[in-house]
């Protein structure tokens, strides 16, 4: 399997099925710290990133936003004092796609580059 962090998001068609449980399990090893959650019947990847203060959390939020724009794949982000919660899923298919795992891996990389552990 290719390293997710080295991959680019691909255009997702609405007629593609979401990833199967087996496919999800195969990708999870490459996105440490993430968990699969279900909200409104839709599987999503979620992770909470911790920071020393609000300014660091906000700076990370902005880096994730820049990444999302560059890849044309956008998460839900909640920025709070000392923490940022990021959720990735593919709206078109109402579930998880390989793109979500690519973006989770790249988000982990951004967190590492910011001086925090993963």
Q: Which two tokens stand for residue 56?
A: 């660091």
Q: Please provide the CATH number assigned to the domain covering 21-112.
A: 3.30.1360.20
For each successive 10 residues of the chain (118 residues), what is the average pLDDT? 79 85 95 96 97 97 97 96 97 95 96 63
| Tokens 């992770």, residue located | 47
Backbone angles phi, psi at 83, to 5 degrees: -160, 150
CA–CA distance, 91 with 20 (Å, rounded to integer)? 16
pLDDT at 34: 97
pLDDT at 6: 86
Domains of the chain, residue spans: 21-112
Task: Output the DSSP codes for 45-70.
Answer: EEEEEE-SSHHHHHHHHHHHHHHHHH
CA–CA distance, 56 with 67 (Å, rounded to integer)? 17
pLDDT at 104: 97
């Amino acid at each position: 399997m290719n390293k997710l962090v080295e991959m680019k998001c691909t255009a997702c068609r609405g007629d593609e099925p979401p990833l199967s449980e087996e496919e999800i399990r195969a990708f999870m090893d490459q996105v440490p710290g993430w968990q699969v959650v279900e909200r409104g019947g839709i599987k999503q990847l979620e992770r909470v990133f911790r920071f020393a203060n609000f300014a660091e959390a906000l700076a990370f939020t902005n880096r994730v936003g820049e990444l999302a724009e560059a890849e044309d794949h956008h998460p839900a982000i909640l920025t709070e004092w000392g923490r940022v919660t990021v959720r990735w899923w593919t709206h078109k298919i109402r579930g998880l796609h390989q793109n979500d795992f690519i973006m989770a891996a790249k988000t982990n990389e951004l967190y590492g580059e910011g001086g925090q552990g993963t």
